[in-house]
Amino acid sequence: MMGRMRVLHVIQAMSRKFGGPPTVLYDLVKAQNENGLDIEVATTNIATPRGGVLDVPTGRSVEWCGIKIHYFPVQSSSLLFSVQLRSYLKNNCIKFDIIHIHGLYRFPTTYAAYAARKHGVPYIIRPHGSLDPYLYKRSTRGSVLLKRVYERMFDLPNLNHASALHFTAEEERKRVSFLGLRSPSFVIPNGLDWKHYEKLPERGGFRVKLGINSEPVVLFLGRLHFKKGLDLLVQSFDIVHNQYPEAKLVIVGPDNDNYGVQVRSWVHERRLDNSVQFVGHLDKTDVTQAYVDADVFVLPSYTENFGMTVVEAMACKLPVVISDQVNIHNEVAGSGGGLVTHCDAQEVANAVLELLGDIDRRRTMGQRGRAAVKAHYTWPAIVSALTQEYEKIIARNPRKQKNI
């Protein structure tokens, strides 16, 4: 292609309190910018899923690592409707070679796809696991109806007319097949900045902060959300605790939906209060220290479109136990970096007990997992592959404004 490729990313929020999607996008756009792409981001200024706004200016771009981020206020918190974002996309989407859209079911991403279609700009939609059948079943009856109406009117046309759909695991793509979507798709995983993991910290700093000495530490790290299988986690740890009374379960992550109250009640019912510690949001350095200080990482999710924390844990030589609903479970099992179970508390407990009882196996798994991450989940190769997909999409989608 001639000149620098101009890419616009659109996402409902860039606050890290929204979990994986914005966290991954920060790293992706930084890596793309370093690789010579001209990157901008359009988003809202919403601070958390429960509301509030970020302390950022709106109406002008904010520069971060050489990337322009445009924050817009919202007038409706349910769908994140924003008049200003609509105006920006309507007037500026034509300036970009391609638009990469992250997520569904909210106005910023829905309108971005519509504007791209209308102006003939190639666009990619990355569902971020929102099309997984499990999430459909968890909705209440009324919300299912509203979701179906929204899909039929807006998101299904956007999905079916997309230049491509971006999945981060083959399992994620397979799970979406029930919708019969017509758009082409590709699979490129999330990545991490290997420079951050090249030299790991010495073991012990996180344990000191929590007052833990040499006791076995089982770590969960992620949002406190029903889909993460925290009910299974507490049940399985109760079984582990019976054999290892000194073991500690450390639960790290933001509680955006107040789901932590439920998790704490399960802990209390099982009389595990003195063996379970809850830690809120941590910065990147402390997260790495938590991985290094733990003995086993556990993610028994009921649905997980990728599992970035799994990759981070493996990068820190931490063996993982994950459910077969984490979409990279085949890759994890194949790497030798972890064990895969069904969403069953006894199975999860058995896997954790296996690892706690065998330090040599934990070390071997840790080394294999770290090698797999370095080989397959670092940004240079991922950005290169994604740029090639952009180029192919742009080549087969010449600009042509449409009446829709």
For 113-149, what is each residue's pLDDT tens digit? 999 999 999 999 999 888 887 765 665 544 666 666 7
User: Residue 296: beta bridge partners?
Assistant: 218
pLDDT of residue 143: 62
Q: Is residue 71 part of a domain?
A: yes
DSSP H/E element including 202: none
| CA dist list (Å): 292 to 60, 70, 199, 286, 369 | 40, 36, 11, 10, 13
Q: 105: Cβ–Cβ under 8 A, 6 or more apart, which residues? A: 130, 147, 150, 155
Residues 125 and 252 in one domain: no
Q: What is the pLDDT of residue 211?
A: 95
Q: What is the pLDDT of residue 332?
A: 97
What is the pTM for the complete model shown?
0.87
Within this chain, do residues 158 and 171 fall inside the same structural domain, yes or no?
yes
Q: Which residues pair with 277 in a beta bridge?
A: 250
In this structure, the answer to whether residues 339 and 371 fall within a common structural domain is yes
CB 121 within 8 A of CB 94: yes
- Note down the domain range covering 316: 195-376
User: Is residue 264 in some structural domain?
Assistant: yes
Q: What is the pLDDT of residues 342-399, one digit of tens each?
A: 999 999 999 999 999 999 999 999 999 999 999 999 999 999 999 999 999 999 987 7
Characterize the bridge pairing of strands 276-279 and 296-299.
unpaired
Q: Please tell me the predicted confidence (pLDDT) of residue 144.
A: 61
pLDDT of res. 403:
67
Best CA proximity match to 133, nearest among 170, 174, 169: 174
Say yes or no to pLDDT of 96 above 90: yes
| Residue 145: predicted pLDDT | 63
> Do 354 and 384 have their domain in common?
no
pLDDT at 78: 83
Q: For residue 393, give the nearest of 165, 189, 181 by alpha carbon.
A: 165
pLDDT tens figures, 262-313: 999 999 999 999 999 999 888 889 999 999 999 999 999 999 989 999 999 9
Average pLDDT for the chain: 93
Choose the weakest-confidence range: 124-133, 238-247, 315-324: 124-133
| Domain assignment of residue 284, yes or no | yes
Is residue 282 domain-resident? yes
**Planar angle of CA 281, 286, 287, nearest 5 degrees:** 70
Q: Let me know whether 28 and 147 are in one domain.
A: yes
For residue 329, count other CB atoms closer than 10 A to its CB.
24
Same domain, 72 and 155: yes
- Residue 90: is its pLDDT beyond 60? yes
**For helices 107-119 and 83-92, what crossing angle results, to 10°?**
20
* Both structure tokens of 20: 């994986």
Tokens of 355: 């690892």
Q: How far is CA 401 from the centre of its chain?
A: 33
- What helix, strand, coil percent values describe the chain, rounded to 5? 45, 20, 35
As a three-state string, the secondary structure of 286-320 is: HHHHHHHHCCEEEECCCCECCCHHHHHHHHCCCCE
Q: What is the pLDDT of residue 131?
A: 86
pLDDT band at 1 (very low <50, low <70, confident <90, very high): very low
Instruction: Tell me the C-alpha distance between 337 and 320, whole Å.
Output: 7
Q: Distance between CA atoms of 71 and 86, rounded to whole angstroms?
A: 12
CB 202 within 8 A of CB 280: no
In a domain, 1, yes or no: no
Greater pLDDT, 243 or 149: 243
* pLDDT at site 389: 98
Least confident of 69-78, 126-135, 138-147, 185-194: 138-147
Compute φ and ψ for 377, nearest 5 degrees: -130, 35
Average of per-residue pLDDT across 182-204: 95
More confident residue, 74 or 401: 74
DSSP string, 127-188: -TTTT-HHHHHHS-HHHHHHHHHHIIIIIHHHHHT-SEEEESSHHHHHHTGGG---S-EEE-
Neighbours of 38 (CB within 10 A): 17
Whether residues 205 and 86 share a domain: the answer is: no
Q: How confident is the model at residue 3 (pLDDT cuts 50, 70, 90)?
A: confident
* Stretch among 21-35, 138-152, 183-197, 262-276 having the lowest mean pLDDT: 138-152
231 assigned to some structural domain: yes
208, 345: one domain: yes
Q: How many CB atoms lie within 10 A of CB 262?
A: 15
Query: Residue 221: pLDDT above 80?
Result: yes
Confidence label for 18 from pLDDT (cuts 50, 70 and 90): confident
Task: Map residue 47 onto helix, strand or coil.
Answer: strand
User: Parallel, antiparallel, or unpaired: how do β-strands 51-53 and 46-48 relate?
Assistant: antiparallel
Q: Is residue 404 part of a domain?
A: no
What sign results for the dihedral spanned by CA atoms 58, 63, 69, 70?
positive
Give dist(CA 286, CA 206) in Å, integer.
7
Structural domain count of the chain: 2
Residue 128 counted as domain residue: yes
Question: Which of 135, 134, 138, 75 minimizes the C-alpha distance to 107?
Answer: 75
Residue 366 sits in the same domain as residue 265: yes
- In this structure, the answer to whether residues 219 and 142 fall within a common structural domain is no
Domain CATH number, residue 139 = 3.40.50.2000
Residue with structure tokens 């700093």?
A: 205
Same domain flag for 250 and 260: yes
Calculate mean pLDDT across residues 251-271.
93
| Residues 345, 312 within the same domain | yes
Tokens of 107: 């106005």
Distance (Å, whole) CA 172 – CA 168: 7
